[in-house]
Amino acid sequence: MADPEQAATVGTRRILIHPWVVRVTHWINALAMLMMVLSGWQIYNASPLFGFKFPKSLTLGGWLAGGLQWHFAAMWLLALNGIVYLLYGIFSRHFKSSFLPVTPKSVWSEFRNALRGRISHEIGVYNAVQRAAYIGVICVAIVLILSGLSIWKPVQFQELAALMGGYEGARLVHFFAMALLVLFVLVHVIMVALVPRTFMPMLTGHATKPSHEHGG
């Protein structure tokens, strides 16, 4: 996207990193996901799939019925917000310009560099690992939603549920997709803590960078 607010002070320029649609949907999504995950843990605790329960202090709703109410209310916020984000990403070419191209080779070499402490961070441009991670997490979110629909309506959406391995299969898929998503959020938050200058652009939209650099 062209940036109307480019070029201000001498030697640096303000560039648009995150368009307002991305910023607004990002924070609504953060809130909706928090509600979905914490209420989801409450629901999980009523009939754990594995030999553990989530700590009660990390659950929402007080008991199962409350957790279900939160989950089935927040899902609308999550879904509507997600639809706005996806439509914007596709039609504004935001996805294409920010996440592509990405090749397995570039992801692998960037990943190895990152492990050696050489993270490439050009302001306003995602490196290959970031691109792969963002594409990946969008796919995980879609699986999370489809498996959730299969658990919610295993009769009405039985064709979808069959794709997930039936009702019980969908419960497992939903759990592991949640786990992947939570893992992504943890890494995402840690990365922001490690590179704090990436935080403000998600609020204000802008960052300043030396004018001799290219990108944006």
Partner 1 sequence: MKDEMRRPDRSLVAPRREIVKLERRLFLKQGISLGALTLLSGCEITDTEAVQKVLWRMAQWNDRVQAALFDPNKLAPTYPESAITKPFPFNAFYSEAEAPRVDAANYKLELGGLVRDKAPWTLDKLYALPETSQITRHICVEGWSAIGKWSGVTFRTFLEQVGADLTAKYVGFKCADDYYSSIDMASALHPQTLLTFKFADQLLPAAYGFPMKLRVPTKLGFKNPKHIAAIFVTNDYPGGYWEDQGYNWFSGS
Residues that bind partner 1 (CB under 8 A): 43-44, 46-47, 49, 60-66, 68-70, 72-73, 76, 151, 153-156, 158, 166-168, 171
The burial of 56, by beta-carbon neighbours within 10 Å (0-12 exposed, 13-18 middle, 19 or more buried), is given as: exposed
The burial of 94, by beta-carbon neighbours within 10 Å (0-12 exposed, 13-18 middle, 19 or more buried), is given as: middle
- Is 202:191 a contact under the CB 8 Å cutoff? no
CB of 84 to partner 1, least distance (A): 19
Token pair listed for 19: 């368009």
CB of 184 to partner 1, least distance (A): 24
Of 133 and 170, nearer to partner 1 (C-beta) is 170
Of 115 and 155, nearer to partner 1 (C-beta) is 155
Q: Give the Cα-Cα-Cα angle 170, 80, 180 (nearest 5 degrees).
A: 40
SS3 for 207? strand
CB of 10 to partner 1, least distance (A): 43
Of 29 and 39, nearer to partner 1 (C-beta) is 39
Of 48 and 136, nearer to partner 1 (C-beta) is 48
- Is 14:6 a contact under the CB 8 Å cutoff? yes
Of 6 and 158, nearer to partner 1 (C-beta) is 158
